[in-house]
Amino acid sequence: MHSKVIIIGSGPAGHTAAIYAARANLSPVMFEGMMAGGVAPGGQLTTTTEVENFPGFPEGITGSELTDKLREQSTRFGTDIITETISRVDLAARPIKVWREDADGDNDAPDTCDALIVATGATAKRLHIAGEDEYWQRGMSACAVCDGAAPIFRNKPLVVIGGGDSACEEATFLTKYASHVYIAVRRDAFRASNIMAKRAANHPKITVLWNTHVAEAKGNGKQLTHVVLQDAKSGEKRDLEVSGLFYAIGHTPNTAFLSGQLDTDETGYLLVKPGSTITKIRGVFAAGDVHDKQYRQAITAAGSGCMAALDAEKYLEELEAEEQEKAAAGKL
């Protein structure tokens, strides 16, 4: 199957790109993935309970509901959504080739496109401690900015796991809402920059727990009520009463299927031309958290998806003009 535009990914970036591309009569095809990156179609947004900072929903909306609305809007304008995962691509080919996960090696014909938008996001790293499956999104999260203002966390003690800039920044952010914030650091020092580390360590509402692992999450069956801490040196365990646990140990961009065909930074995020979504390969664009390691918000991902669709539309116009010039030159 050949398409003008293929979009890989189905979060806010992918669906916004689809909406803009469809309204531009580009007939986009979206591969929304089937548990790609370990999450359902819709990406990280589906793992968030209440979303209160996405414009247009003054009463808030769940992540799954917002994902469903984005999907409905994409299909309304004509996006062809395929619930399959893309496992490999050939970005040097013209047209660009993509293979579905169940493709039988080189025997199965690939899907092809003139422009490709990569919007596969980044998956938050988790430790999968005991009790995590039971209390994930019932007191456990990987995004303080997304979830920290939720009622279940307000005026309650919280714990952040991590020792880098993200952990210090998210712990400081949570002090706006929490009664107190603990940072569990597995070593005896932060990995964070000096300014971020000092800001967190000196905050009156933050206590740093050095050489500490969080071994288990416990609760009342409905919500997290405390965690089990383990001293990294002595192995001694103790309980800490908290109503929330936030992972701040980084994200993994979902780019393995690209096999190194696009440039990335040292942490694996795709590199784009500043102020655009243009990658090093003509006709290939990156949108959302797969290239944005700074903001990582649904609304910024959506904006990036809009940019990718507009960049792709411009590229396709240029491509058509080039083909017309070649055709005209051939007639001379």
Q: Taking residues 216-220, what's their average pLDDT?
A: 97
The tokens for 102 are 């169940």
CA dihedral 76, 115, 9, 298 (to 10 degrees): -80
List the Cα angle 65/44/302 in 5-degree steps: 75
Amino acid at 33: G
Q: Which of 111, 113, 114, 143 is catalytic?
A: 143
Average pLDDT, the chain: 93
Cis before 28? omega within 30: no
Does the pLDDT value for residue 37 go beyond 70? no
Distance, CA of 276 to CA of 124 (rounded, Å) = 24
Contacts of 44 (CB under 8 A, 6+ apart): 11, 121, 122, 123, 124, 143, 289
Q: Taking residues 73-99, what's their average pLDDT?
A: 96
Q: Taking residues 245-269, what's their average pLDDT?
A: 95
| pLDDT grade for 36, boundaries at 50, 70 and 90 | low
Amino acid at 241: E
Whether 143 is a known active-site residue: answer yes
pTM: 0.84
Distance, CA of 21 to CA of 204 (rounded, Å) = 49
Whether 168 is a known active-site residue: answer no
Distance, CA of 142 to CA of 62 (rounded, Å) = 16
Q: Which of 114, 147, 292, 311 is catalytic?
A: 147
SS3 332: coil
**Which range among 89-98, 104-113, 320-329 has the greatest average pLDDT?**
89-98
Predicted local distance difference test score (pLDDT) of residue 90:
97
Predicted local distance difference test score (pLDDT) of residue 329:
83
Distance, CA of 31 to CA of 145 (rounded, Å) = 28
Distance, CA of 138 to CA of 50 (rounded, Å) = 11
Phi, psi of 147 (to 5 degrees): -115, -15
Predicted local distance difference test score (pLDDT) of residue 107:
65
Distance, CA of 253 to CA of 116 (rounded, Å) = 17
Whether 146 is a known active-site residue: answer yes
CB 275 within 8 A of CB 302: no
Q: Which of 113, 146, 168, 292 is catalytic?
A: 146
Predicted local distance difference test score (pLDDT) of residue 38:
63
Does the pLDDT value for residue 98 go beyond 70? yes
Show the DSSP H helices in the chain as ranges.
12-23, 63-76, 132-135, 144-147, 165-174, 194-201, 298-331
Per-residue pLDDT reduced to its tens digit, 285-326: 999 999 999 898 999 999 999 999 999 999 999 999 998 988
Does the pLDDT value for residue 108 go beyond 90? no
Q: Taking residues 209-225, what's their average pLDDT?
A: 97
